[in-house]
Amino acid sequence: MTISIRGARVIDPASGLDQVGDLHIEAGKIVAIGAAPAGFSAQKTLDGAGLVAAPGLVDLSVALREPGYGRKGNVESETRAAAAGGTTSLCCPPYTRPVLDTPAVAELILDRAREAGNAKVYPIGALTRGFGGEQLSELVALRDTGCVAFTNGLHGFASNRILRRALEYAATFDLTVIFTSQDTDLAEGGLAHEGPTASFLGLAGIPETAETVALARNLLLVEQSGVRAHFSQLTSARGIELVAQAQARGLPVTCDVALYQLILTDEALVGFSSLYHVQPPLRTRADREALREAVKSGVVQAIASHHQPHEADAKNAPFAATEPGISGAELLLPLAMTLVQD
């Protein structure tokens, strides 16, 4: 089929294009921007006035919940939600059951993604078997199956020595390691950012140092091992400062923030709203402003949805009994645009 989209705002960051014009599409591919090519005849014409035509988004973290958590979602439903929000490529973390630590699980997810056909899916494998923090997963086999990076998520390691060896092994094979830096001991039992809001609500707190202590250790081990590293879900001003200092001294590390951390603060928990129960936790207004400034300055390279869908029962309980996570894949672009307006 041939399609013409008339009068849309056409944006292409790769070429710097930003103009109102026409798009001409044939067999699912753009064949011209502006004037139609010779012999082109549109079978369908769409009015793009007031709309934006741009390349699909890439979301660095969308939990697909399959296999193992079908009551929360599946590959088809979550990639469909992402595509509805303009995301055409996404990375899925290994938060599945069984954990994505073998090629068989990766193949299952990729097969389901191809069947759904909603978006390109790039699996992230578990760095250690079952997130146990002791034995490495089949990293090279997972890479060959299609995993683009490896993480242990919020799960700790049995020792710093094991973490160091894992990073050195990953560096040997030029694998990317993703860190969600939160010290498991300092964060144990915590439900909210340690501060006035948590105290007012009587919720166990997670101090800022849960992030910064783990982050400082991880940065030092990354520097020592030479592994390619990405720091995910930063939440605090001091955490951002540590990454900025590492980048300034030439350490080639990247980082992202969750979109909701740029919009919400721990004050959203007043009233015990479990919708805002997330890990790592929402922090203060000062932290939120530091994250926004880091996005503007380029210290933060990406904004991700960190989409974690749940069934209603997972959120309809006393706060401490609810499961952390926010669904946000479909809202990544529209909510990010509100930040531009602000």
CATH of the domain at 290: 3.20.20.140
- Give CA–CA dist 73/65, Å, rounded: 5
**Residues 31-85 pLDDT 10s:** 999 999 998 999 999 999 999 899 999 999 999 999 999 999 999 999 999 999 9
pLDDT at residue 14 in the model: 87
Beta strand ranges found along 105-250 (DSSP E): 120-126, 149-151, 176-179, 192-193, 205-206, 228-231
Which residues in 37-134 belong to E strands, given as ranges? 44-47, 52-53, 57-59, 87-92, 120-126
Its domain, for residue 234, covers 56-341
In terms of domains, do 62 and 141 share one? Answer: yes
Task: Write the pLDDT tens digit of every residue in 130-160.
Answer: 999 999 999 999 999 999 999 999 999 999 9
| HSE value, Cβ hemisphere, 13 Å, CA-based, for 235 | 28
Domain final residue pick, 17, 36, 52: 52
Residues 88 and 46 occupy one common structural domain:
no
Mean pLDDT lowest for which of 48-57, 247-256, 289-298, 299-308?
48-57
173 and 213 in a single domain? The answer is yes
The domain that holds 16 is classified in CATH as 2.30.40.10
Q: Are residues 61 and 46 in the same domain?
A: no
Let me know whether 20 and 101 are in one domain: no
Q: How much is the pLDDT for 87? A: 97
Q: How many domains does the chain have?
A: 2
Residues facing 307 on adjacent strands: 62, 326
Name the one residue in this structure whose structure tokens are 């014409």.
Answer: 45
pLDDT in tens, 265-296: 999 999 999 999 999 999 999 999 999 999 99
